[in-house]
Structure 1
Amino acid sequence: MKLYNLKNYCEQINFLKAVKMGLGNNQGLFFPLNLPKIPKKKLQEIIEMDFLTRSVKILSILIGSEIKTSELKKYVKQAFSFPGPKIVPVTKNISCCELFHGPTLAFKDFGARFMAQIISHLNKKNNTTTILTATSGDTGAAVAHAFYKSKNVRVIILYPKGKISTLQEALFCTLGENITTIAIDGSFDECQALVKQAFNDNKLRQETGLNSANSINISRLLAQVCYFFEAYALTKQKKKLVIAVPCGNFGNLTAGLLAKSMGLPIQSFIAATNANDTVPRFLKTGIWNPYNCISTISNAMDISRPNNWPRVTELFSRKKWNLNKLGFGSVSDQITTQTLLDLQKIGYISEPHAAVAYQLLKNQIKKDEFGLFLGTAHPAKFKNIIDKVLNINIPLPKTLAEPSTLPILSHYMKPNFEKLKKFLKS
């Protein structure tokens, strides 16, 4: 698999090197040079496969011969060793695709665990890797658990202090061992900026074996393509399928669009955001104008400078798709709260991120279409909000209950790169 740097088309590398580097020169994202298209007859065969078999097939089509099929099969089996996507009917023509049945109860388990397998593959020669990543909520837990106690891997996770749920924090800030967490006194965008600065320091990268597990890493992105195929396979009404994606860093939407580019017959997508509406405003006006990040109840989407947006525009350009055909919208906290209540009335307990996607899907879907909205995290991860809004006492799964009683092991830091640099070198 050949990939090129979106900021320097001359920088072209293979998949394994792209995973190892994370970002290219000038903080450029890597993007596939070839966009494979699966013939219709072959596509039907692939759709009929079970989730694991199909995932190996899709990833082998994307990655090529760099990893032996026998090894890839082993990595996929170990990475996706938990219940896969589940389709739950919500209304007559809308269902939720629940992606939160993994070990940290979030969709990011798929990408983080596959990346951990690839890093393990790269570390066979006892190389040491420092994973530096920023999280607005769920990435931190998925990455921490995926790499927990991994040999020759040190994980450092930055997160905005006081701006993720207490249960999200407990899930990854209580582990210790090779997992270090730093609460940054600032926004997620500031956490993400620190990660980018670190990657721009070539000397630091070499000294620490720096890598990132954010959705900027191509391994995470390709793993996510697999569950869009599974969502389609599990959906009974496949014609005119519209998928609404809760968007933060836009990695999930990018993966869905890559699945469509491979031939998966998804009619359209809706990019759903909260009040951090940089992309919806751009699609409306053509002007890229990020505002300061706003804290909302859908905190994992509190990102005003989404990293993966250049990949989305690159894909639309390469495929000659019309960007104006991409559905979009933003939802306020007030409407999100009302949507949670509306969903409860029709018998579905959701959480704020999925509620944002459902609200926009419900408003934009046509009578002859069928809609899926992605359930990206278990409602119990937002217990404080859900209990208060829905007037219920949502039970905590064991995965959340146990760490909630443990002490938080985080360090605290101002958003200062020199301090972070010193920390990384220590």
Structure 2
Amino acid sequence: MSESLPYISTRGRCAAVPISQAIAAGLAPDGGLYVPEVLPKLDPSAFDPHGSLADTAATLLAPFFAGDPLAAELSAICSESLDFATPARALPQQNAKVLELFHGPTAAFKDVGARFLAACMRRLPRTDERPLTILVATSGDTGAAVAAAFHRQPGIRVVILYPDGLVSPRQAHQLGCFGDNVQALRVAGRFDDCQRMVKAALTDATLQEQRPLSSANSISLGRLLPQMSYYAHASLAGWHAHGTPMNFIVPTGNLGNAMACLWVREMGLPIGQVRLACNANTTLPDYFAGAPYAPRVAIATLANAMDVGAPSNFERLRWTYPNEPDLREQLQAHSVDDASIRQTIASHARDHGDVFCPHTATAMHLLDHMREQGDSANWTVVATAHPAKFESVVEPLIGHPVAVPGSLAAMLARPASAEPLTADDDVLHHWLLDQVTA
């Protein structure tokens, strides 16, 4: 067995662990995020040019799992979880492509990471016979993806926290429609409150002793690593077809999706420029424009899944580029307001017949702006969710209904419910003790 790669905390105040332990824990004991001690390097020639997404993922992730008990299962984990397409569709009018990541069960890119994480957790041995509670803070899409991935999985309970009234109606329905081992909590606050509450619970040693907990947010390596696969797969396809790196515009809020793209580039695969498209929450655009990093309270926007004022993956970004001038050179981040989101959805549907969700529309707006400024590079816009999840925003702008994918329609046909919860760390602590019984 080859030597395993150690995983350390971004805060550097706890011991290194193997990847199985990092995945099982979700968050490091010191409150930091797990990262590999070093990012492996790979050559594009190591990949099968005719392989599937699962094949690409297995090759890409092999160095991360080397020497770990999960290594022998990695190919099966990838085949089991990455069994849907992530096509890069041409947009001829824009001389661009759109990487469609919404063809999984819950119609959002979060299905990739959630299904991979669940497949890993099914194979991890547990000495504690008590159920493991997966805590999830969601701004819209993560919760449903995790719920679908872990639904009825023995020994696992899922508790989803989402900001009440700040997700789309269909997103809220998805979050509450599973039942069984999945419980949705509608929190009287914002996503940042939900994220803070989850982190507080995960680092509460007394609570962990009584209720074993883990995470399935993008703070979890088991979510982040598989998201690298679609960037590797798309960029390698472009490399074989044209011999040039692929440039990406990534809609982002919590930085997990963008980190996956950047890590693939750091590993040596053919990714060129990366631009971040944000909504009216300007924490990242302000930072990359030269201001000090300053988390703030999130504001509600049409692109609600990106309503994040304190992106937790910023810790991984700083770990990846510890020299601040270097970090600022790696990325540009741009803010897109709601009026521009509406205009982009309406104009692309009218002029080209393309229908985008509000999050994808932030990236399309940025591409449109870049074209107006004379940029002629080949860009790939990352489409993070199906527009049918946001029909109350999209349909009035395009003037007709959006067809609903079958898997989403099935979820919407189920009854749904969610329990109200105050946005307070102690309230969640006591709820977990009282409600999640052994």
Fold similarity call, TM over 0.5: yes
What are the residue-to-residue correspondences of 1:194-343 with 2, within 5 Å?
194-235=197-238, 236-237=241-242, 239-317=244-322, 321-343=326-348
Give, in whole Å, the separation in 2 of the partners of 1:173 and 1:338: 31
- 2:107 corresponds to 1:133: no
Pairwise CA distance, 1:136: 0.3
Query: What amino acid sits opposite 1:361 in the alignment?
Result: L
Secondary structure in 1 aligned to 2:17?
strand
Structure 1 unaligned residues grouped into runs of 5+: none
SS across alignment from 1:285: coil
Question: Residue 94 of structure 1 contacts residue 370 of structure 1 at CA under 8 Å; is this kept in 2?
Answer: yes
Q: Is 2:345–2:361's contact at 8 Å kept on the other side of the alignment?
A: yes
* 1:90 CA drift (Å): 4.9
Preserved contact between residue 49 and residue 237 of structure 2 (Cα < 8 Å) = no
TM-score scaled by structure 1?
0.94
Corresponding residue number in structure 2 for 1:421: 429
Residue 62 of structure 2 is matched in structure 1 by 60
Partners of 1:326 and 1:290 in 2: CA distance: 18
> Cα deviation per residue 1:328-359 (whole Å; 9 max; x = unaligned)?
10000001111112211122111110010111
Distance in 2, matches of 1:320 and 1:227, equals: 29
Q: Which amino acid in the other structure matches residue 180 of structure 2?
A: E
* Inter-partner Cα distance in structure 2 for 1:175 and 1:298: 24
Tell me the secondary structure at the aligned position of residue 343 of structure 2.
helix
Shift of 1:126: 6.5
How is 1:14-413 mapped onto 2 (pairs within 5 angstroms)? 14-39=18-43, 41-42=45-46, 45-67=47-69, 69-123=71-125, 127=129, 128-235=131-238, 236-237=241-242, 239-317=244-322, 321-344=326-349, 345-364=351-370, 367-413=375-421
Further displaced range: 181-190 or 84-93:
84-93
| 1:188–1:303 contact (8 Å) kept in structure 2 | yes
* Aligned-pair CA distance for 1:48: 4.3
Q: In the alignment, is the contact (CA less than 8 A) between 2:297 and 2:310 conserved in 1?
A: no
Q: Is the 8 A contact 1:268 1:327 kept in 2?
A: no
- CA distance in 1: counterparts of 2:170 and 2:44, whole angstroms: 44
1:188-232 deviation per Cα after TM superposition (whole angstroms, max 9, x unaligned): 011111111112211112321110100000111001011101111
Structure 2: gaps (5+ residues): none
CA contact (8 A) 2:70 2:123 kept: no
CA deviation after TM superposition for structure 1 residue 22, in Å: 1.1
Q: Which deviates further from its counterpart, 260-269 or 397-406?
A: 397-406
Shift of 1:323: 2.2
Take 2:357 and 2:92, find their aligned partners in 1: how far apart are those partners? 14
Cα separation, 2, equivalents of 1:297 and 1:322: 29
> Tell me, what secondary structure is at the counterpart of 1:296?
coil
1:239 to 1:369, Cα distance in 2 relative to 1, 3 A: farther
- Conservation of the 8 A alpha-carbon contact between 1:158 and 1:191: yes
2-structure distance, mates of 1:67, 1:84: 28
Provide, for residues 377-405 of structure 1, a one-character-per-residue CA deviation record: whole Å limited to 9, x for no partner: 00101011111111111122222323334
CA RMSD of aligned residues (A): 2.0
Q: What is the distance in 2 between the residues matched to 1:63 and 1:320? A: 32
Q: Secondary structure at the match of 1:230?
A: helix
Go from structure 1 to structure 2 and tell me whether the alpha carbon gap of 1:149 and 1:335 turns closer, same or farther (over 3 Å shift): same
Q: Percent identity?
A: 32
Residues 81 and 125 (structure 1 numbering): CA distance in 2 closer, same or farther, change over 3 Å?
farther
